[in-house]
Amino acid sequence: MYALLVVVVLMLMLPFAWVLFGSFKSQGEFMANPGAWLPESFAFVQNYVVLFTEKGFGPFLVNSLIVSAAAVAGNLVFSSMAGYALAKLKFRGSKIIFIAVVGAMTVPYVAIFVPQFLVIVQMGLVDTLTAIILPVLIMPIAVFIMRQFALGVPDELLEAARIEGAGEFRIFFRIFLPLVGPALATVGILTFMYSWNYFLWPLIVAQSSSVYTLPVGLAVASQTANTTAFGVLLAGAMVVLLPVLIVFLFLQRYFIQGVATTGLK
């Protein structure tokens, strides 16, 4: 039984092996021995160098960092506010808003990306990082997660603070937020991963390469490149993969728990 597990896991890990090894191969190696798995030398870092010097991945990296930082910050603040309000504050329309949030999670992206683009055009924000950031500033799934966790916070704590005269914002920041640390961690990780891997919308919005994020840069490079020149592309893939990989390896517990609990609810 464990043998089966090991075999399956090995097979799942194969693509990572391919990209790791392939990113260290020179063009000559690809031509001469295309089927080889291992590179001749792990010291061959030219592909990575080319990425940043010729392919302009430096700015792409910066753009991706900006987008992800903004998305994480935005969600940690605004999504938690919204989730808290939807769970703990009784106000007219909260039911409808929650339904809209759930609906937004199920709508296929292909249906709305076109009008979404038209909206951005009307706002005059085409080809800006702002346009890339705005739709992910508050993610429905983040609001959903925060709401679920907020429901678990005892009302008495909040009521006690209200009776003492604390305003809602104070209650939110001083009492609620400290209580939902794991949820915030989950939201932060989820948002980081989603915004970092985000590719379709940035691809549509960006018209000039100065606004490309990493996935867009890689997508454009792979669509236009001569597809036998894989070394640089695979190096690009590694650069895109690594940050998320690292974050995941350290924080997987929160992430996986978050996925499981929200899914089941």
Partner 1 sequence: MASLDTRVGGPVTRRSSAPPASAVTSSGSQRPVSPRGQKRLSFSHNRIGWIFVAPLVIILSLFTVLPAVIALAMSFTDIGAADLRDPFAVNFTAFDTFIQVLTDQTFLRALFNTTLFVVISVPLTVGIAFVLALILNNGIRRLKSFFRAAIYLPVITNIVAAAVIWQYAFTVTGPVNAGLETLSIHGPNWLGDPVWAVPTVAALGIWRNIGTCMIFFLAGLQGIPEEVEEAASMDGAGYWGRVLHMTIPLLRPTTLLVMILMTVSFLNIFDEPYLVTHGGPLGSTQSLALWVYEQFGYGNIAPSMAGSFILLALVGIIAAVQFRVLRPKH
Binding to partner 1 (CB under 8 A): which residues in 230-259? 230, 233-234, 236-238, 240-241, 244-245, 248-249, 252-253, 256, 259
Per CB under 8 A, the list member of 45, 118, 157, 246 interacting with partner 1 is 118
- For residue 210, the minimal CB distance to partner 1 (Å) is 19
Build a one-symbol-per-residue string for 32-71: x at contacts with partner 1 by CB under 8 A, - elsewhere.
--xxxx----------------------------------
Build a one-symbol-per-residue string for 132-171: x at contacts with partner 1 by CB under 8 A, - elsewhere.
--xx-xx-x--x---------------x--xxxxxxxxxx
Tell me how far apart the alpha carbons of residues 173 and 240 are, in angstroms, rounded to a whole number. 34
The answer to whether residues 188 and 72 touch, using CB atoms and an 8 Å cutoff, is: yes
Task: Describe the chain by its helix, strand, coil percentages, rounded to 5.
Answer: 80, 0, 20
Tell me how far apart the alpha carbons of residues 136 and 72 are, in angstroms, rounded to a whole number. 9
Per CB under 8 A, the list member of 71, 86, 180, 184 interacting with partner 1 is 86
Q: Give the residue with the Cβ less far from partner 1, 49 or 242.
A: 242
Tell me how far apart the alpha carbons of residues 241 and 197 are, in angstroms, rounded to a whole number. 9
Residue found by looking up tokens 């961690």 in the block:
185
How many CB atoms lie under 10 A from the CB of residue 240?
A: 24
Integer-rounded Cα Rg, in Å, for the chain is 22
Three-state DSSP class for residue 156: helix
Build a one-symbol-per-residue string for 176-215: x at contacts with partner 1 by CB under 8 A, - elsewhere.
-----------------x--xx-xx-------------xx
Q: Which tokens belong to 216?
A: 């867009």
- For residue 43, the minimal CB distance to partner 1 (Å) is 21
Is residue 73 involved in binding partner 1 (CB under 8 A)? no
The answer to whether residues 161 and 175 touch, using CB atoms and an 8 Å cutoff, is: yes
Per CB under 8 A, the list member of 102, 114, 157, 246 interacting with partner 1 is 114
Instruction: Candidates 41-49, 55-63, 95-103, 177-185: pick the segment binding partner 1 (CB under 8 A).
Output: 95-103
Per CB under 8 A, the list member of 92, 124, 154, 226 interacting with partner 1 is 92
Tell me how far apart the alpha carbons of residues 213 and 61 are, in angstroms, rounded to a whole number. 7
Question: How many residues make contact with partner 1 (CB under 8 A)?
Answer: 100
